[in-house]
Amino acid sequence: MFQPFVTFLEQYGYLAVALLVAVEGLGIPISGGAAVVAAGTFAARGTLNVFGVIIAATLGAFVGSTISYLIGRRGGRALVERYGHWIRLDAAKLAKTESYYARHGVRTIFFGRYIAPIRVFGGLLAGMARMPLASFLVVNIIGAAVWAATWSALGYAIGRNISVMSEGLIEIAIAVGVFVCVWLFVRWLRNRRQR
């Protein structure tokens, strides 16, 4: 299932990272975060450079969200009014969202990078709420850089420690399995006594 995704990353490297993250920022819910983590693991193996991954992810996130913002600013309201029902966004929710972005847009764009729906639709909604372009661009590039560095570093750490993690995961899985079995048995005993 993930093999075409991995092959695409291996073949096109930084361009693939930037493209996948940009497409997500345009409002197409693909996992840009997973692409960055995967690229970080490739960097740990020496296939890519972790700083190159951070730069590619930052640029992709910035470009995708900025285009989404411009779409939202120019004609996003009509677009959402027509197709918003697909994402359960009606007129009342749209008005609340715009009001929220007017008050908390900067924080939402920055921290929303870590929340998939906001990462996907945040630029569009900020544009629709008429968030000032200069504010959006500044927080968008800073947020994109911090987010890209976080997920790249996570992928890099996973790639460097995969053998240690796999040993630890087996032990954790066994412990969780034993805990679940004991918990289910205790519950069964309690239910039986209550009858």
* pLDDT score at 22: 93
* pLDDT score at 66: 95
Buried b (16+ CB within 10 A) or exposed e, 115-144: eeebbbbbbbbbbbbebeeeebeebbbbbb
Whether the pTM exceeds 0.85: the reply is no
At residue 1 the predicted structure's pLDDT band, cuts being 50, 70 and 90, is very low
Distance, in Å, from the CA atom of 117 to the CA atom of 127, rounded to the nearest integer, reads 16
What distance separates the 2 farthest-apart alpha carbons in the chain? 67
Out of 27-41, 62-76, 79-93, give the one with best mean pLDDT: 62-76
Of 121, 122, 113, nearest to 151 (Cα)? Answer: 113
Of 23, 27, 17, 19, nearest to 120 (Cα)? Answer: 27
More confident residue, 117 or 133: 133
Residue 193 to residues 110, 184, 187, Cα–Cα distance (Å): 53, 14, 10
Enter the tokens of residue 66.
Answer: 């900025």
Tens-place pLDDT, residues 6-64: 777 778 889 989 999 999 888 887 878 888 888 888 888 888 889 999 999 999 999 99
More confident residue, 56 or 90: 56
* pLDDT score at 190: 77
Give the chain's mean pLDDT: 82
Distance, in Å, from the CA atom of 130 to the CA atom of 69, rounded to the nearest integer, reads 9
At residue 106 the predicted structure's pLDDT band, cuts being 50, 70 and 90, is confident
Assess contact for 57 and 151: CB atoms under 8 A: yes
Assess contact for 14 and 50: CB atoms under 8 A: no
Distance, in Å, from the CA atom of 176 to the CA atom of 192, rounded to the nearest integer, reads 24
Distance, in Å, from the CA atom of 159 to the CA atom of 134, rounded to the nearest integer, reads 37
Share of the chain above pLDDT 90, in %: 25
pLDDT over 90 (residue 140): yes
Distance, in Å, from the CA atom of 124 to the CA atom of 68, rounded to the nearest integer, reads 5
